[in-house]
Every structure is written in C-alpha cells, then in structure tokens.
A and B are shown apart, each in its own frame.
Chain A
Amino acid sequence: MTAVAASSKKPKKKKKSANTATENRSQPGLIGQNKALPYLFSFPAVMVVSAILAYPVLAGIYQSLFRAPELGLDEEWVGLDNYTDLFKGSDFWASLYRTGIFVAGNVTVGLTLGLFFSFALYRAVGKFRWMRAATLAPYLISNVAAAVMFRLMFNGDLGVINSFLAWFGIDGPLWLSDTKTAMIVVIMTQVWTDLPLTVLLLLGGLMTIDKSYFDAALVDGASPLERARFVTIPLLVPQLVIATVWLSYSTLTGLGVVLALTGGGPLGSTTTMAMEMYNIAFRALKFNEALALATVILVLNAVLTLMYVRIAKRFEIPS
C-alpha cells in the first residue's frame, strides 16, 4: 500500500522539480543530481544478484544442452537430448504426478486453512493481537526442524496423531513408512511451514477492505457464510491469487521439506520433481540431465503462475 502510494506520488514530484528548476527554488534538485553516483550505488547489488541468481539460471539452461558421455569426461553438445530422454523415462512422469498431488494438496489445504485462520485473526484484536505475531512462528524455523517435529507427531508408535486417533478407536497407520500415507505427512508439513505467510497476506487484504461493504451486507440480512462468499472472498481475489501463486511456487520448487522429512521415500512415493532433480544431480552425479529437469520445473512454474492469474480474472469484480 505504502509503496504504491509513494510511487504514484513520485513522478509528479520529479516533473515539478524539473519545472521549477528555473523558477524560484533556491537550490534546485539538491537531491539526486550526481551522474555517476546512482550507478556506483546500485553496482554491488546488481553484481551480487547477477552472480548468484541471474547468471546461474541462464548458465544452467545453457548447460542443460550438453552432456558428459561418462562421469569425468568433457561435456559435449547434445541439443535437446537431455529433455527427450527425460520425457521418455517413466521416473519423470511418476514424479510429475506426485508433484501434481503435492501442489494441489498444498494449494487446497493452504488456501482453505489460510482463509479460515485469517478470518479468525481479523477478529483477534485488543488483547488477542499477539496471536498475529505468534502465527508467524512456523515461518521462523527451518524445514529440517519442522521435519523433526512432524516426524515426532506422525510417528506410528509414539506420535500424538495416532494417540488422538486411538481415542476414536482408529488404529493409525505408520504414516511415514507407508507409501500411501507418507505424502499426506509431507503435504501437512509443507502447509504448516507455508501457512503463516498465506494468513498474513490474506489478513493484510482483509484489513484493506472498506467496512461499509460489510455493513451494507448486514443491512441486507446476509448470513455470515453469505457475507464471506459474496462480499469478502470476491474482494480478496488479488490476495488469493498471490497466495495461490506463492503456495504453488513453494511446493513445486521446494526441496527442503521433502528432503528432510522423507528423502523421497518410502519407495519413492514422495519423490517430487524437485527431489528427483536432487537425486539425478547429487546421487547419480548427472548434472546436465538434472539441469534439464530444473529447467522443466522453471517453465512449469511460469505456466502455472500465468494460469492462476488467468483464472483469477474471471472472479474479479468488474469495477
């Protein structure tokens, strides 16, 4: 909000100072006139960002077109062979399928809980305000620590989840050693680590909504559910889009949770594309092949992002 307000103010000010330069201002353009300084100032950041982010990505895409015939030999140009080989293998499609479940699970559960909890936090004011800060706790810890915590909770013998299920007479599974249930734990852990930002984002959106909309809905006799469905959620579309993009991005490209929690197991049942890429690169040491998969992930991420924005356009309120 502040950024937008400030930037919209800015061009006006620029023009003004340019116009008044010849007029009555005693020292026109006192600030920001040096020619070389801005380049000097932005140089270190631009350098580090290029070296750490821009160059590696471009180099990675380029190197995905090469291949070393054998480990240790020089890399040779192979064109798109790494990609065609990737698409021919069944591992790729299996990991794509698992990634689909992972992303869909994280986005669905993340958005549902995110909406529910942000509505709850919206009403947490006064002496409950600390809850907003407390909600951020999972965001502050590493994926590995989160994995340790969830491994304890979902432990088949001593976990709190199975103790809870036992109350209802349900014999809980050995969550992380069962190929059918391991993905559930991975999704729950990922949602847990991603939810704080989602909630904060939606809460920020909620707080910018004009209260008169709610009042109008109340006067019209809308039930709380109707208010959420027809007033709040449509007004929250921009934040919901950003939240969806962020949840999808963090799952599609996230490696930390999977690696720390299951390492892709049991029997590869949680090997997502990111995990598969890690395996190809650092277990099989086929770096160029891994780079091809990484490029596929980048493209998929871009495609999904565009798709979310497209879908969201349909739900936007025409102004």
Chain B
Amino acid sequence: MTTATMPPETGRTEAVGKKPRTPLVRKLRRVLSAVPLVLLMIWTFLPFLVTLSVSFKTRVETFSNLSLIPEDPTLNAYNEVITDPNFTSAFINSVIVGIGTTIVTIVISLPAAYAFARFNFRGRHLLLLFTLLPRLVPSIGVLVPIYRLAVSAGLLDKRITLIFVYAGTLAPLAVWLMVGFFQGIPREIEEAAAVDGASLFQRIRYIVMPLAAPALITIGVLAFREAWNEFTLVLVLTTTPDTRTLPFALFKLGQSEGISNFPAEAAFAILTVLPFILVYSRVERYVVAGLTSGGGK
C-alpha cells in the first residue's frame, strides 16, 4: 500500500513538470512522512512509559533521578502493591465483575438481537428503538437515580448490582452490533439446517454464534472493559472493600494522606492496565474491525 500511494506522488511531479527528485530528497521525504506516526506513538505511549519508569524507581529516586531510565531498577513497588490486601481483593472483584458482566451482556443481548434480526414481529421497530435509545443517555443522568434505587432495594454494595448495571449499559451497543452482524448471515444457511432437522437452539449455537464470533468477541471485550475500568458507578454503588473494583482501589490510593507514594501508585496503575492489554492484544483485530465498522461510540 505504501508503494501504491507513492506512484501518484511521482506522477504528480511529472504532470506539474517539476525537476525529478534525487534519491536523497526522496529519502528525506520518506523520513519526514514518518514524523506524524512517530508523534502518534509518543502521544499514545509516553504516559505508559513514564508510569512504567516510575514504577521501577524507589520513592527517593523519583525525585532525585528525573530520567526515564531508572538507575537501579527495583520491584519493591510491585511487591508492595501485590501484598496490599486492598489490591488483591479489588483484583478478585474486578475479575468476578468483569466476567459476570461479559456473560450477562451476551446472554441478554444475543437472543434479543436474534429476534430483531430474524423475526418480523409486531413492535419490532419500537422495541429495537427502545433498546437503542438509552445509548444516548449519559451515565451522569443515571448516577443519582441508580444509587437511590439501589439504596431502596437493598442492593448497595453488591457485586451482582455492578454486573447488571454494566450489562444494562452495554446491552444497547451489543444488540446493535449483533443485529447488524446477524443480518449479514444468509437466512438460507439456517433454513438448510432447519430442513435437516436442527432446532432453533442448535441453529443459534452451531451456525449463528460461530459466524458471528467477531461480533461476540468485540462485545465481550467491550463489556469486560466497561466492568474493568468503570469508576464513577463503583464509587457510588460500593461502600466496602469487599465489592470495590480496581479503579476505585487505585483512586483510594491516590487520595491517601501524606506525601504521595508515586512508585506504588504507578505500579498499581500498571498492574490494573496490564491484564486487560494482554487480553486485548490477543483479539485486537476483531475489536478494531468491529469498532471501525460499528461507527464508534
């Protein structure tokens, strides 16, 4: 593709009639055209690098050595974080809430999306609209009402509340992505399977789900991301360390009194970020494709 964009460039110079380029100029142009990409990588990864660097320093060194490369790298900060009960309990909560949210989101959205994509039932458009409209509702609008609802229903400080709240936030997007995907699967395949005697559930399990795997993976990643990263609702809906997830625990660490323990904060941040980045890197091509075609949001 790089080569595909290059010929028109030279074609232009010929058309305009400028003098032909020397190899040196061409090389210089090549280097210059890489500058935006280098800037993009700096913009994206500098915060990660800075945090990684601080996490390997001692508390004293954060002030004495401003360079990105630690003089005497140490794992003390990581040790400190891992042995902190606040971290371990938050980590476990995050894993439970993350997996729970992913499962609940898919379990409620998949049948709904199938119904909207395959059945022509009364109120189909109305219901579809209904599941999509809330996508426009910002979380700030539901923060207080959900809190009050949870208080009155006795659902405050429970992991299951977080799971359903996140699943509810994600479901509209999930339904929307899946309806588009299911409609792309030819009916004829399913009809053929039906003729062969496959039941509805068999068709969904063995035809629709495998063919929609990219959409399911994208939704799974997005649901897990929401649960793993969401912060304000956790802050409002939990009151004890038993249910708090990682972002809240990290926030608490930053709020603690006295001189900030920068290495510990940095190590904590890295340890919250790392697991999800690792998961993501395994499935990134589905997610990028899903998000690019899905029109964002």
Query: Chain A interface (Cβ within 8 Å of chain B)?
Result: 1-3, 5-7, 9-10, 13-14, 26-27, 30-32, 34-35, 37-42, 44-46, 48-57, 59-60, 63, 113, 116-117, 119-121, 123-126, 128, 131-138, 140-153, 155, 157-158, 160, 163, 192, 195, 197-198, 200-201, 203-204, 207, 214-215, 218-219, 221, 242-243, 246, 249, 252-256, 259-260, 274, 277-278, 281-282, 287, 290-291, 294-295, 297-298, 301
CB distance from B144 to the nearest CB of A (A): 5
Task: Given A7-B183, A201-B295, answer yes or no on A42-B40 (Cβ-Cβ < 8 Å).
Answer: no
Contacts of B171 in A (CB 8 A): 45, 48-49
Does residue B246 face the partner (Cβ distance < 8 Å to A)?
yes
Contacts of A128 in B (CB 8 A): 37
Quick check: which of B19-27, B80-88, B277-285 contacts chain A, the rest being far away? Answer: B277-285
- Among all A-B residue pairs, the 9 with the closest Cβ atoms: A52-B168, A3-B180, A253-B138, A120-B36, A53-B134, A56-B145, A125-B1, A142-B229, A45-B112
Does residue B95 face the partner (Cβ distance < 8 Å to A)?
no
What are 21 sample pairs from A and B whose C-beta atoms fall under 8 A apart? A7-B183, A10-B183, A31-B118, A45-B175, A52-B165, A54-B137, A60-B145, A121-B40, A134-B44, A136-B284, A137-B48, A140-B280, A148-B254, A150-B47, A158-B63, A200-B296, A201-B292, A218-B11, A260-B251, A260-B254, A281-B147
Contact indicator per residue, chain B 16-47, by CB within 8 Å of chain A (1) or not (0) = 10000000000000000100110111011111
CB–CB A3/B143 < 8 A:
no
Contact indicator per residue, chain B 170-189, by CB within 8 Å of chain A (1) or not (0) = 01100100011101100100
Grouping DSSP codes into helix (H, G, I), strand (E, B) and loop, the B interface class, with mixed when no group exceeds half, is helix
CB distance from A51 to the nearest CB of B (A): 7
CB–CB B146/A137 < 8 A:
no
CB–CB A126/B119 < 8 A:
no
Contact indicator per residue, chain B 269-297, by CB within 8 Å of chain A (1) or not (0) = 10011001100110011011001111111
CB distance from B279 to the nearest CB of A (A): 9
Please report which residues of chain B, range 169-222, place their CB below 8 angstroms from some CB of chain A when the two chains form the complex.
169, 171-172, 175, 179-181, 183-184, 187, 190-191, 194-195, 200
Please report which residues of chain B, range 40-58, place their CB below 8 angstroms from some CB of chain A when the two chains form the complex.
40-41, 43-48, 50-51, 54
Chain B: residues with Cβ within 8 Å of the partner, total of: 115
Task: Given A27-B195, A31-B190, A219-B15, answer yes or no on A38-B51 (Cβ-Cβ < 8 Å).
Answer: no
CB–CB A298/B138 < 8 A:
yes
Does residue B127 face the partner (Cβ distance < 8 Å to A)?
yes
Contacts of B144 in A (CB 8 A): 60, 277, 281, 287, 290-291, 294
Residue picked from B229, B254, B262, B294, most chain A C-beta under 10 Å? B229
In the complex, A207 Cα to B104 Cα: how many Å? 34
CB–CB A142/B131 < 8 A:
no
Q: Which chain B residue has the least Cβ–Cβ distance from A196?
A: B44
In the complex, A289 Cα to B90 Cα: how many Å? 33
Does residue B8 face the partner (Cβ distance < 8 Å to A)?
yes
Q: Which chain B residue has the least Cβ–Cβ distance from A48?
A: B168
CB distance from A44 to the nearest CB of B (A): 4
Contacts of B294 in A (CB 8 A): 3
Task: Given A31-B191, A49-B172, A197-B297, answer yes or no on A131-B41 (Cβ-Cβ < 8 Å).
Answer: yes
In the complex, A2 Cα to B175 Cα: how many Å? 15
CB distance from A301 to the nearest CB of B (A): 6
Contacts of B8 in A (CB 8 A): 214-215, 218
In the complex, A62 Cα to B247 Cα: how many Å? 32
Indicate which residue in B43, B111, B181, B248 contacts A113 across the interface (CB closer than 8 Å): B43
CB–CB A297/B138 < 8 A:
yes
Does residue B156 face the partner (Cβ distance < 8 Å to A)?
no
Contacts of A207 in B (CB 8 A): 292
CB–CB B231/A142 < 8 A:
yes
In the complex, A148 Cα to B255 Cα: how many Å? 11
CB distance from B81 to the nearest CB of A (A): 12
Contact indicator per residue, chain B 98-133, by CB within 8 Å of chain A (1) or not (0) = 000000100111011011101111001001001101
Q: Which chain A residue has the least Cβ–Cβ distance from B270?
A: A145
CB–CB A294/B295 < 8 A:
no
Contacts of A249 in B (CB 8 A): 138
In the complex, A254 Cα to B293 Cα: how many Å? 25
Task: Given A142-B247, A204-B293, answer yes or no on A259-B231 (Cβ-Cβ < 8 Å).
Answer: yes
Contacts of A155 in B (CB 8 A): 262
Indicate which residue in B5, B37, B121 contacts A131 across the interface (CB closer than 8 Å): B37
Does residue B141 face the partner (Cβ distance < 8 Å to A)?
yes
Task: Given A13-B187, A46-B131, A287-B144, answer yes or no on A255-B232 (Cβ-Cβ < 8 Å).
Answer: yes
